[in-house]
Structure 1
Amino acid sequence: MEKSVNDQTLKEMVRQKYAEIADQDPALNAASCCGSGPVSSKVYHIMADDYTQFDGYVAEADLGLGCGLPTQFARIKPGDVVIDLGSGAGNDCFVARHETGPTGKVIGIDFTEAMIKRARINAEKRGFHNVEFRQGDIEAMPVSDNVADVVVSNCVLNLVPNKRGVFTEIFRVLKPGGHFSISDIVLLGELPQELRQEAELYAGCVSGAILKEQYLALAAEAGFESLTLQKQKPVFIPDDILDKYLSAAEIAAFRAGQAGIESITLYAEKPAATPETTLEIGTVQPSDRSAVLELLKASDLPVLDVEASLSSFLVAKAAGAVVGVAALERYGPQALLRSVAVREDYRGHGLAKRLVSDLLRQARLSGIQDVYLLTTTAEGYFANKGFVRLPRESTPEAIRATAQFAELCPSTAVVMHQRLEKPRLNLADLQSSCCTPNSGCC
């Protein structure tokens, strides 16, 4: 194989290697680095850790790959959303699933079709309905922003040429305050040139590894905090692998030198959000459309009529990302309050209250007398905001004719109503609603 290969060639070579591994005897994987690359006559594991000690372990999903036990250190809690990078046949996903319990969710990502197929079969056999597997690159994950509480990975980042891109993606998909626990291979010194340029050893994890200091720096540059090495262990490459690439003298020099290979498990946290100081609330922009739709879908709210009513939306943004929405559709002196949704990691900070209060204030200032809404889950919340339950047949015809009433919301949804007080006309209100200096409107 050529000594100089580009990133795409390396990725395709790794894909082919791991497609072969998906169908081979797991015992063969234990005899090589991370289950790929040259096989040693001396069967060994990079890490002698035993997955069978964990609840949730599935023998059929254990292909003998990996260089650590990240799920052991991942601090997974019941109800967590966990993403496993390079999920293989599903081993770490199934262990993580036991920790999340039935209220949690586990997403495995792997770019090898054969691995995805094998993992899905393993999950289906056991009825693991809160575990799913998605095919894709971990430097461009098929996952939305801020969805995971925890990210785990076992001996995978070293296979990716663009490690910086992977850390950036991990930061993107983690919720504020979320964390990762990743096992990987790093270098303690420079590898011999022959090993660093050998593509076959890249698939076997060794030549794809980078210096430990560089690895930690990439995580910090991506924005992670509280970096902690949870476990470290030396990795030994047998002579019968090295002699494929190095002479006896070069092997002796390598053994005597300062270079080393180590398995580490790294923990780090994404900084927590501070909604009080980072939020901006304003009218919706056309560029917000997809983010509004995504948030409504995540909150199980109707989206079919959003195109026609998008201009009525108020959005809350944090660092440019939409984290809260609400809309007020006007029909003469009446209005429909709808689509109140807040991203999960921003709940509990009063954001929904701020959005609704702003809309009701605008309604008062614009002469709206009555506001109606439909809800299936938040009757108590809106009752505390001054709304009262109303028989559906008592709702004005203009409101009943909206798509929300007519077809999108279930017939079991509760109708609620609030009669708005007439606005107190003071200078502050008038200036905020319609006036500019010398406009002549006041």
Structure 2
Amino acid sequence: MTDPDDHRSTAIVDHYGALARATLEGARAIGGETCSSTGGCCGPAGYDDLTGLPDGAVRASLGCGDPVAVADLKPGEIVLDLGSGGGIDVLMSARRVAPDGLAYGLDASPDMLALAAANAEQAGLGNVRFLRGHIEDIPLPDAAVDAVISNCVINLSADKARVLAEAFRVLRPGGRLGISDIVADDVQAGPAEPSHQCAAQALTADAYLKALRLAGFIQVTITGTSAARGGAHSAIVHATKPDRTSGQ
């Protein structure tokens, strides 16, 4: 029997691949099938400064916040963006960690990866690497990065515990998790939504907190921001991997 989660994952990749192709053709990726009543994928993205970013990266932005600011990136750090899409958060991260740092973007859609690579080339950023893979199985070794970010992506996964465990694994001790994501207002929110929509499988704040702590994270906070469609809202999620020396 075929795992229904496999069908769901394929549907998500196909949907975002189509958005990437549309963006490459000059359209804006954000369409009518979105979470917010105003047409954004998950609500206003809330970026402070998009100056100098390629138009294709901005048009392909499907996020619900600014995880780059949440992660408090510093020069020289290595950062990983889970579900990097057209690359906007990777490019912004690369600027923050330059000149000696590195920004990885991980995505399952070949079309999104092609779009992101084109955007990185246009931006002239050499400290960017894009990886093809699933956020439930990150193709990086243990303790490889200083920060993990994600923007309106983890809510789409059918196995969020695995995603958070993988994020914990690839973080160095003391590393940071900075996420903008969709949180359900109650346990009934979202299941009837198509699989690619933001609130389709969103956790409640309490369930999200529990999952983060079970993964091993400490200093966990979830702060609601703007309302989203489908009985949910955007939220800023922050957590830390304990430092092995102090346990804090």
TM-score normalised per structure 1: 0.51
Q: For residues 125 and 232 of structure 2, what CA distance do their matches in structure 1 show?
A: 37
Matched letter for residue 97 of structure 1: A
Flag the structure with higher helix content.
1
Residue 28 of structure 2: SS of its match in structure 1?
helix
Q: Give the corresponding residue for 1:126.
A: 123
Distance 2:134 2:176 in 1: 20
Contact map agreement 1:182 1:267 (CA 8 A) in 2: yes
Q: 1:44 to 1:78 in 2, by over 3 A?
A: closer
**8 Å Cα contact 1:79-1:103 kept in structure 2:** yes
User: Paired residue for 1:88?
Assistant: 85
Report matched runs for 1:310-321 at 5 Å.
none
Question: What's 1:136 paired with?
Answer: 133
Q: Secondary structure at the match of 1:210?
A: coil
Deviation at 1:48, TM superposition (A): 2.1
Aligned match of 1:183? 180
* Correspondent of 2:200 among 196, 207, 210: 207
Offset of residue 88 of structure 1 = 0.6
Residues 30 and 39 of structure 2 are in contact (CA less than 8 Å); yes or no, is this contact kept in structure 1?
no
For 1:196, the equivalent position in structure 2 comes to: 191
Distance (whole Å) between structure 2 residues aligned to residue 140 and residue 176 of structure 1:
20
Q: Sequence identity of aligned pairs in percent?
A: 34
Tell me the SS of whatever aligns to 2:76: coil
Q: Distance in 1 between matches of 2:186 and 2:84?
A: 29
Deviation at 1:46? 3.1
1:304-337, Cα deviation, whole Å (9 max, x unpaired):
xxxxxxxxxxxxxxxxxxxxxxxxxxxxxxxxxx
CA deviation map 1:100-153 (0-9, x unaligned): 011100000000011111111222233321101000011101111101111110
- CA shift, 1:54, in A, is 4.3
Conservation of the 8 A alpha-carbon contact between 2:46 and 2:64: no
Q: How many residues align?
A: 241
* CA distance in 2: counterparts of 1:169 and 1:19, whole angstroms: 24
Gaps of 5+ in 1: 238-259, 278-442
Residue of 221, 239, 242 corresponding to 1:268: 239
TM-score relative to the length of structure 2: 0.89
Aligned to 1:64: 61
Structure 1 moving runs of 4+ over 4 Å: none
Read off the aligned partner of 2:103 and give its amino acid letter.
V
| 1:188 shift after superposition | 1.6
Matched, 1:173 2:170: yes
Kindly indicate whether residue 228 of structure 2 is the aligned counterpart of residue 224 of structure 1: no
Q: Give, as a single letter, the amino acid of the residue that structure 2 aligns with 1:88.
A: G
The residue type equivalent to 1:53 in the other structure is D
Contact 1:56–1:97 (Cα < 8 Å) also in 2: no
- 1:6 to partner: Cα distance: 1.4
Change (3 A) 1:56 1:104: farther
Equivalent-residue separation in structure 2 for 1:24 and 1:191 (angstroms): 33
CA contact (8 A) 1:74 1:180 kept: yes
CA distance in 2 between partners of 1:176 and 1:130 (Å): 23
Unpaired runs of 5+ in structure 2? none
**CA 1:80/1:56 → structure 2, altered by over 3 Å: closer, same or farther?**
farther
Partner of 1:154: 151
**Deviation readout 1:159-199 (Å, 9 max, x if unpaired):** 1101000000000000000011011111121336xx5145x
